[in-house]
Amino acid sequence: MQVAEGAKNNIMIYPSGLLMGKVYHTETNRKRIDRMSYTKHYYIGSERVSGKTGTITDLGFYPQNIIDDVMHWTSLALIMYLCAVQVLPVSYMPKIL
């Protein structure tokens, strides 16, 4: 029954199409500890562009300065590109200067 034991401990959860978690158990001094690791997937349209792995301790942790600085300029560049190729009307073009 060694095969069944190995299969029983391989627990995967899929709370959404963007997040996959793996639950695993460890024992320390005869005490069972439940833990979880995860992989978060990032998509643009239907194409996966990035993935992030971590533990439940850092799930959802993103430094605020990355969100404020990098994402702000990335969003502006994307809007300007979409206006340039006429996907968005010119009225959406940000007035930077």
- Residue with the bigger pLDDT between 20 and 90: it is 20
C-alpha to C-alpha distance for 26 and 36, rounded to whole angstroms: 11
CA–CA distances in Å: residue 87 to residues 18, 55, 84? 27, 39, 8
pLDDT tens per residue across span 8-65: 566 777 777 777 888 777 777 777 777 777 788 888 778 877 777 777 665 555 555 5
pLDDT tens per residue across span 54-79: 776 655 555 555 555 655 566 667 66
Q: Which structure tokens are listed for 16?
A: 């959404």
pTM over 0.75: no
**φ, ψ for residue 67, nearest 5 deg:** -65, -45
